Amino acid sequence: MLDDVVRSHYNFCMKTAVIPQVRVEPELRADLDAVLLPGETLTDFVEASVRTAVEFRRVQTDFAARCDASLAEFERTGVSIPADLVLSKLEAKVAARVKQLRK
């Protein structure tokens, strides 16, 4: 409860920031205008794109960290999981998800 109060106070007092303007070729701007959804502004599109890019970079960074940790563990222990076992587990997960989505 206290965390919510502190967080809402912080968010209320926090000023918004501005993303710098980006100069692009007229063709790119025309392409951008052509894909905006009805009622969507350029600002909406840019904000959504930046949020998506930030999340993608976080996922990439987390993945790289897990890869580095896995490699370090292998180098330390010499123990690894065979690729065919990893792939079969991933295929089973995909099959289960596809089955779940088709219901």
Cβ atoms of 40 and 9 closer than 8 Å: no
Cβ atoms of 22 and 35 closer than 8 Å: no
Rounded to whole angstroms, how far apart are CA atoms 62 and 101?
Answer: 27
pLDDT along the chain (103 residues), means of 10: 61 78 95 96 96 98 97 96 96 97 93
Q: Is 68 helix (H, G, I), strand (E, B) or coil?
A: helix
pLDDT reported for residue 9: 59
Rounded to whole angstroms, how far apart are CA atoms 94 and 103?
Answer: 15
pLDDT reported for residue 71: 96
